[in-house]
């Protein structure tokens, strides 16, 4: 089940984007996996082209009986502070902790910090790639990689935010789990304070193939489409 709550308030270029919550609850018998939830909160506050993007927190809680995997959480915080069209993007930290009993895998975590500073409204943010390779003995899990590319190009208040793609490929031998991927694309185009927000598509495709209990989990898709013309905002979803 996917639940999306979108609340938007716009007042004369003073945008306050509330939050989006997404909850997925999956229950499968025979090894009785119960995946908790993922909540995403986005709070945007903008005053007179002085953007302050608050944070986005994402929590994933997984609890599974019989082999008793308990995946802790992943929190993502994005803090943006911009003053007088001189944008300074703070950081994004991502922490992943995994703890599993009985085969007792303990995966550490990774932190990602991005600091952007742009002068004179001509922003060119490069990109970043992140690769994580995990190898654990005794069930010999090999987690692939996750690549993230952010391309930002802005010219004289005409912002064109490229895209961000995130791919996670997991391959594990002996119980042979194959986790699909998640791609996120954000396309923003703004012309002379007439913002046209493209879309953000989030696709999570999980394909689990496990020998001796053989689970196959589906996927969820979330699409948000924004279109605004001349301060007359029409938010789809």
Token pair of 19 as six digits: 């939050």
pLDDT in tens, 27-48: 333 233 333 333 333 333 333 2
Give strand pairing partners of 36. Answer: none
pLDDT of residue 185: 33
pLDDT at 171: 31
Q: Is the dihedral of CA 85, 81, 92, 228 positive or negative?
A: negative
Write down the pLDDT at residue 10: 33
- 147-194: pLDDT as tens digits: 333 333 333 233 333 333 333 333 333 233 333 333 333 333 333 233
Average pLDDT over residues 60-79: 31
Taking the C-alpha atoms of residue 73 and residue 124, their distance in angstroms, rounded to an integer, is 33
CA angle 113, 114, 120 (to 5 degrees): 155
User: For residue 167, what are its two tokens?
Assistant: 């791919």
Percent of the chain beyond pLDDT 90?
0
């Amino acid at each position: 089940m996917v639940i999306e709550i979108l609340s938007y308030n716009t007042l004369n270029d003073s945008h306050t984007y509330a939050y989006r919550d997404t909850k997925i609850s999956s229950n499968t018998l025979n090894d009785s996996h119960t995946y908790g939830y993922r909540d995403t909160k986005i709070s945007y506050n903008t005053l007179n082209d002085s953007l302050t993007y608050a944070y986005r927190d994402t929590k994933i809680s997984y609890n599974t009986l019989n082999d008793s995997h308990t995946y802790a959480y992943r929190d993502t915080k994005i803090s943006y502070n911009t003053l007088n069209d001189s944008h300074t993007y703070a950081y994004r930290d991502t922490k992943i902790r995994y703890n599993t009993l009985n085969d007792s895998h303990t995966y550490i975590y990774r932190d990602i910090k991005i600091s952007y500073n742009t002068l004179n409204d001509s922003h060119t943010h490069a990109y970043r790639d992140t690769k994580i390779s995990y190898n654990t003995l005794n069930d010999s899990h090999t987690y692939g990689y996750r690549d993230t590319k952010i391309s930002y190009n802005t010219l004289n208040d005409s912002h064109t935010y490229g895209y961000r793609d995130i791919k996670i490929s997991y391959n594990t031998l002996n119980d042979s789990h194959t986790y699909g991927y998640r791609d996120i694309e954000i396309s923003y185009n703004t012309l002379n304070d007439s913002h046209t927000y493209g879309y953000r598509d989030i696709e999570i495709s999980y394909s689990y193939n496990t020998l001796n209990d053989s689970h196959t989990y589906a996927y969820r898709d979330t699409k948000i489409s924004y279109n605004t013309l001349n301060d007359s905002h029409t938010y789809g979803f």
